[in-house]
Amino acid sequence: MMSHRARGARAVVIAIAAGSLALTACSKNEGGKSGKDSRKDQQEAAVQSKAVTYAGAAGSTGPAKEVPGAKPGGTITVYQEAGLSHLDPGQIYVSDAGQVANLLFRRLTQFQEDDKGNVSVVGDLATDSGKSSDGGKTWTFTLKDGIKDENGNPLTSADVRHSVERLYAKFIFDGPTYLQTWLSGADYRKALPGGGFDGKHLPASVLDTPDDKTVVFHFDQPRPDLPQTLAMAGYAVVPAKGDTKERYEKKPVATGPYKIAENKPGKTLKLVKNTGWDPKTDSVRHQYVDGFTIQFGVTESTQTKRLIADEGDNKNAIQLTNGVEATQIQDVINNPEASKRTVKGYQPYVMTLTFNLDRVKDKKVREAVTYAVNSKSLIAGEGGAYGGDVAPNYFAPTLPGYEAGYDPYGRLKTPQGNIAKAKEILSGVPAGERKLVFAYPNSEAGQKRKVAVEDALQKVGIDVVAKEVDSASYYEQIGKLKNPYDIYITGWGQDWPSPGTVVTPIYDGSQVADGSSNYSHVKDPKVDALIKKALTQEPTEAAKTWKEAQHYLLENVIPAAPLWYTKQFQISGSNVGGTRYGSVSSLLDINRLYLKS
Element (H, E) at 380: helix 375-382
Q: Which residues contact 342 (CB under 8 A, 6 or more apart)?
A: 29, 31, 32, 324, 332, 569, 570, 571, 572
> How deeply is 37 buried, as exposed, middle or buried, from its count of CB atoms within 10 A (0-12, 13-18, 19+)?
exposed
At 208, the amino acid letter reads: D
* pLDDT tens per residue, range 106-140: 999 999 998 877 889 999 999 999 999 999 999 99
Per-residue pLDDT of the chain (597 residues; tens, 9 = 90+): 334 432 222 233 322 222 222 322 222 223 333 345 555 566 666 655 566 889 999 999 999 999 999 999 999 999 999 999 899 999 999 889 999 999 999 999 999 998 877 889 999 999 999 999 999 999 999 999 999 999 999 999 999 999 999 999 999 998 999 999 999 998 999 999 999 999 999 999 999 999 999 999 999 999 988 999 999 999 999 999 999 999 999 999 999 999 999 999 999 999 999 999 999 999 999 999 999 999 999 999 999 999 999 999 999 999 999 999 989 999 999 999 999 999 998 888 999 999 999 999 999 999 999 999 999 999 999 888 888 999 999 999 878 778 889 999 999 999 999 999 999 999 989 988 899 999 999 998 999 999 999 999 999 999 999 999 999 899 999 999 999 999 999 999 888 878 889 999 999 999 899 988 999 999 999 999 999 999 888 778 888 999 999 999 999 999 999 999 999 999 999 999 999 998 788 899 999 999 999
Please state, in angstroms and rounded to a whole number, the distance separating the CA atoms of residues 562 and 519: 14
Residue 101, H or E segment: helix 95-104
Type of residue numbered 252: P
Burial 199-211 (b: 16+ CB within 10 A, else e): eebbeeebbbbee
Taking the alpha carbons at both ends of the chain, their separation in whole angstroms is 37
Cα–Cα distances in Å, from 338 out to 111, 210, 305, 317? Answer: 30, 55, 11, 13
pTM: 0.82
